[in-house]
Amino acid sequence: MTAAPPPVAVDPAAVASVQRRTVWVLSLGQVLGGLGFGATLSLGAVLAAEISGNDSLSGLAAASLTFGTALTAIPLARLARTRGRRLALTSGMVLALIGVALVVFAVSIGAFPLLLVSFLLVGAGQAANLQSRFAAVDLATDTTRGRDLSIVVWATTIGAVLGPNLTGPGEALGDLVGMPPLTGPYLFTVVAQLLAIALYLTMLRPDPLVLAQQVVASAPRTGEQIAKPDHATAARYAVFAIAAAHGTMVSIMAMTPVHLTHIMHGSADAATLTVIGLTISLHIAGMYALAPVFGILADRLGRVPTILVGQVLLVAALLTASFGQESTVAVTVALVLLGLGWSASTVAGSTLLTEASSEERRTRRQGMSDFTMSMVGAVGAVLAGIVLGWIGYGGLALVVSALVIATMLLSPLGRVAQGLRSGV
């Protein structure tokens, strides 16, 4: 049991000021954290295929990354609950930094198992990035919860889109300092992770979760704007919607670099890597760039209707990927739509999960949600490699549509909580 926070005098205007500052600090942290995420997305599958010598094992890179995110999601959430967001976020970043160093070492000695372990540790950084969106709404109110969460999600765009496009310059820089092939871009990742750690340690004060606990305990009138009564059914649906969208996205995205390699030159040459980097960059832009739009929609239209908007976008993505699988342009368009669908589902689903959970249950459910979505993504990435070899990229897109259909059919469960902005 966590000890009750000490009583404090609460000034609502001061709390609102802390919330605004917290959103901007977390946003800058997401810019830096996104650099590592983008580089791993664009290079992970290629590195796994090169080191293992087997394309069917390429999906294990994304699987390891997402499994690492799953393994650290709940421990980081527990750490946040007991010690605050600041320590939890920095701990995730430190583990990721160790992982990046091990990625370079694993490639240098050609050790495939060590490479997968390295990606597990990098996944801790992604767990911290995911937790940032929840940290952004620790102090948020009903009218701005979706917007505040989406601003932090949007901030990832800059680093995550820039990351894959640093492949060329990073590789050139890596050659100059004698790094193994395809690992040069991680030089930028190391610098970005160090800056993110310093930012959270020095600027995330006061800690938003600790302050939220104090407000709820000491100032009921202000606290009721931050935390609502518990609605377990709506919370469970939110967890499902987030996980299903993530599983859909990871399954297709993880196989795209390998698929593009096959339909182009059949090898990871410079031209192919450029196309892969551009495609992944546009996909990540879809994931994050319009997040504020979906956040505003979630606040005004409702959480569940916005989740359903995401499902429509995912259907469009899967159909485009299936019927346009031989075209690099069609695949790129599909990846952008895939990112948009993920964004709408994740922003609205995360907002619904937060407001459907009482203050004492929020952090635990948030950690469980990140664990679930990451496990679904990890399993999806592994199975995607098998399905890709069996019925191809287009067939894979049709198979994962089952997750989208299930999210649509279960949507009434998200509407059951009276008083939630989940839609009418």
Q: Is residue 122 part of a domain?
A: yes
Q: Is residue 41 part of a domain?
A: yes
Query: CATH number, domain at 351?
Result: 1.20.1250.20
- pTM recorded for the entire structure: 0.83
Q: Is the peptide bond before 180 cis (omega within 30 degrees of 0)?
A: no
Q: Is residue 124 part of a domain?
A: yes
> Quick one: angle between helices 85-109 and 186-203, nearest 10?
160
Q: Is residue 3 part of a domain?
A: no
Q: What is the pLDDT along the chain (424 residues), one digit of tens a residue?
A: 444 455 555 677 888 899 999 999 999 998 888 776 666 666 787 888 888 888 777 768 877 887 898 899 999 999 999 999 999 999 999 999 999 999 989 999 999 999 999 999 999 998 998 999 999 999 988 888 999 999 998 987 777 667 667 777 877 888 888 888 877 888 888 888 899 999 999 999 999 999 988 888 776 666 677 777 789 999 999 999 999 999 999 899 888 878 787 777 655 566 677 777 788 878 888 888 899 999 999 999 999 999 999 999 999 999 999 998 888 889 999 999 999 999 999 999 999 999 899 888 999 999 999 999 988 888 887 888 888 888 888 889 999 999 999 999 999 998 755 445 555 3
Q: Is residue 422 part of a domain?
A: no
Q: Is residue 400 part of a domain?
A: yes
Q: Is residue 327 part of a domain?
A: yes
Q: Which of 239-269 are b and which e, b meaning 16 or more Cβ less than 10 Å from the residue's Cβ?
A: bbbbbbbbbbbbbbbbbbbbbbbeeeeeebe
**Total number of domains constituting the chain:** 1
Specify whether the CB–CB gap between 296 and 146 falls below 8 A.
yes
Q: How far is 257 from 263, CA to CA, in rounded Å?
A: 10
Domain residue limits at 230 = 12-415
Q: Which residues contact 71 (CB under 8 A, 6 or more apart)?
A: 120, 123
Specify whether the CB–CB gap between 83 and 109 falls below 8 A.
no
Q: Is residue 219 part of a domain?
A: yes
Q: How far is 186 from 163, CA to CA, in rounded Å?
A: 9
